[in-house]
Structure 1
Amino acid sequence: MECFRKSGRLEEVNKQLFNKPKAFGEILDLTFQLSKNRFVDFMKIFLILLGPIFVLEAIVYLMSGVNFFRETGPGTVWFEQIINSFVETEPLETASLGADLGIIGLGLVSILLYPIAQAAVLFAVNHIRKGEEFKVGDVIKQAFSRFWAILWGNIVFFFVIFGIMLIPIIAITSIVISMGPENIIGAVILIILLGFIFFFGFMLLITRLSFYFGSIVLDKITPGIIRSWKLSRKRTWPLFGLYIIFYVIIGAITFAVETSFGLLLGNSVLLLTINNLALLFTTMVVTVGYSVMFLDLKTRHNADDLKEMLDDYQENNK
């Protein structure tokens, strides 16, 4: 909140960007502005909800025998010891059943809490769009009020995606079987070509359907699949491009953190903690980007609806 008070001009620029359809570069610019200026608020949301999970996870690994600062495996040289620390899993293999169940349980809880954190950020960005002040605790409460709707929507989305994936797999398998074993080279080439085509189409389809989450959280439409399809109409390619940029950034940051710290710390609890914090940061940036994209789609959709209403009114009054 303080960052926005420091510059009325910055607040006015962001309001103008929010309230008009944004170009590709404007969405990226607004995403990084918000991530920078509201970094503390957004990270608080993720740390409050997921921080305790990471602490408990670290405790379980420590109790399983993994070193906190630096984990090394067998070997005669430093580099070999570091590499073997990621291969050797003896401490976890000999851990109690309770520790294994603890890791699984924490993983399941985090799966439930990540969408809540993302929903809270979405609420926060929507408050910023309206020029409203907000408290971290309030947006978290708003997010929990949509818990069951989010859970149901995610389940529906999973089964829709699973069904869509199943169709090309069955189609490719049937075609390959019909070609027979004597055409093995042609079958391999066909699998590669069809696999690439189906994968590309699959990613575009996910892009069209992915805004079901924003529809559930802000529009209170569950499961939101049809709503997402309507909102993303005529915007598939720009949205797909934005997703690529965001996930390239995630991949670059993740690779840099895991490689640099991994060479120093090995597969230690400290490395796990650092990786988790990096994951929270990248997830926060992508969530802010998703929020800006979703609100931009709503702005465009509302503008289109208003235009259609005006066209109908003019047509009826001729």
Structure 2
Amino acid sequence: MDAKFKKPKGFGEILDHTFSLSKNRFKEFFMILIIFMGPVYLIQAIIQFASGTSFFRQVGTGDNWFEENLSSFIDSGSFDSSSLDLGIGFIVVSLFSALLFPVAEAAILFAINHIRNEEEFTVGSVIKQAFSRFWPMFWSNILFGLIAFIIIIIPLVLIIVGFASASVNPIAGILFGILLFFGCAIGIGLLITRWSFYFGSVVLDKTSPGFSRSWRLSKNRTWALMGLYIVFYIISSIISTAIQFTFGAFLGTSVLLYMISNMASLFTTMIFSVGYGVMYLDLKTRHDADDLKDLIDDYKTI
């Protein structure tokens, strides 16, 4: 086994290992995502171009550079026939992404597991392994989506009721609504974090739907894991925002801007997927170590 996977890691060590793997195995990981998501983004670009969006630079009307670019982003949100085409294209792209992205993430998980076991692998071999788990992933993802929806919708109703009570006592109602919002947000984050490692269980351990195993693995690590999710989200948001503002200043809402943004999205997705794999395997290492300790303790009591 690779030395970096042998012992449980702390918060900073997981981040360091994630970036190290992403750098050293960038070619393989990025190739996996390109194979699955590249054609989807190409279809999106073709739909945008066919709907009348300029390829190199799309700006609106205005007396100066700032007004032209601002107008282009405002106009992109207005409804017309081209907006309908783009809406249909967005739905098509979203459906393909929902089907293909989990397979790409599974392939990256298999690749990281091979690295952990110091085994040779190819992009083709891990993709083949990922497709072998397609249907268990598909049904588990649907079930997780339903669980997440229920977890989110119930607190949302409570928050609305809390803010609605402001009509009776405005100050108390607003304070109660704010406290309820943050409390529900933290609670939702913790629950989703506890169940989110079902995917690694379905892919690597072939346990479907994997929610009970995820709950056991994440025990006593929920806050740290949620913190890691937040860090990866912040990193992805910073990169995406920087790309949008930097290239959007020159390209407006052109097809080229969306292509560049999509490439940046693949990069941030790669980091998140690798981070998820490192987190899951770290949980397995901790869990296996605990199981070993229990066996030793049982042996000593005999």
The question of a shared fold, defined as TM-score above 0.5 by the shorter chain, is answered with yes
* Residues 17 and 26 in structure 1, CA contact (< 8 A), matched pair in contact too: no
Give 3-state SS (helix, strand or coil) of 2:223's partner.
helix
Work out which of the residue numbers 220, 225, 235 in structure 2 matches 1:249: 235
Q: Which residue of 1 aligns with 2:213?
A: 227
Which range moved further: 49-58 or 155-164? 155-164
Q: Which residue of 2 aligns with 1:86?
A: 73
Work out which of the residue numbers 134, 153, 158 in structure 2 matches 1:147: 134
Q: Which residue of 2 aligns with 1:36?
A: 23
Q: Aligned-pair distance for 1:173? A: 4.8
Q: Which residue of 2 aligns with 1:198?
A: 184
Work out which of the residue numbers 207, 215, 233 in structure 1 matches 2:201: 215
User: In the superposition, relative to structure 1, how do residues 22 and 89 fare at CA in structure 2: closer, same or farther (>3 Å)?
Assistant: closer
Give 3-state SS (helix, strand or coil) of 1:150's partner.
helix
User: In the superposition, relative to structure 1, how do residues 180 and 242 fare at CA in structure 2: closer, same or farther (>3 Å)?
Assistant: closer
Q: Aligned-pair distance for 1:171? A: 3.9
Q: Aligned-pair distance for 1:25? A: 1.8
Give 3-state SS (helix, strand or coil) of 1:95's partner.
helix
Give 3-state SS (helix, strand or coil) of 2:230's partner.
helix
Distance in 1 separating the partners of 2:58 and 2:13: 44
User: In the superposition, relative to structure 1, how do residues 44 and 312 fare at CA in structure 2: closer, same or farther (>3 Å)?
Assistant: same
Work out which of the residue numbers 277, 283, 291 in structure 2 matches 1:305: 291
Distance in 1 separating the partners of 2:72 and 2:166: 46
Within a 5 Å distance, the mapping from 1:216-295 to structure 2 comes to: 216-295=202-281
Distance in 2 separating the partners of 1:268 and 1:274: 10
Which range moved further: 191-200 or 95-104? 95-104
Gaps of 5+ in 2: none
* Residues 65 and 91 in structure 1, CA contact (< 8 A), matched pair in contact too: no
Within a 5 Å distance, the mapping from 1:32-181 to structure 2 comes to: 32-89=19-76, 93-95=80-82, 100-173=87-160, 181=167
Task: Provide the identity percentage.
Answer: 52
The count of corresponding residues between Structure 1 and Structure 2 is 302
Q: 1:262-297: per-residue Cα shift (whole Å, max 9, x none)?
A: 101100000000000000000000100110000000
Distance in 1 separating the partners of 2:162 and 2:90: 42
Q: Which amino acid aligns with 2:295?
A: M
* Residues 76 and 253 in structure 2, CA contact (< 8 A), matched pair in contact too: no
Aligned CA RMSD, in angstroms, stands at 2.0
Q: Aligned-pair distance for 1:118? A: 0.7
* Residues 51 and 85 in structure 2, CA contact (< 8 A), matched pair in contact too: no
Give 3-state SS (helix, strand or coil) of 2:28's partner.
helix
Give 3-state SS (helix, strand or coil) of 1:30's partner.
helix
User: In the superposition, relative to structure 1, how do residues 244 and 84 fare at CA in structure 2: closer, same or farther (>3 Å)?
Assistant: same
Q: Aligned-pair distance for 1:255? A: 1.0
Q: Which amino acid aligns with 2:123?
A: V
Q: TM-score, normalised by structure 2?
A: 0.94
Q: Which amino acid aligns with 1:67?
A: S
Q: Which amino acid aligns with 1:144?
A: F
Distance in 2 separating the partners of 1:96 and 1:283: 27
Distance in 2 separating the partners of 1:73 and 1:173: 38
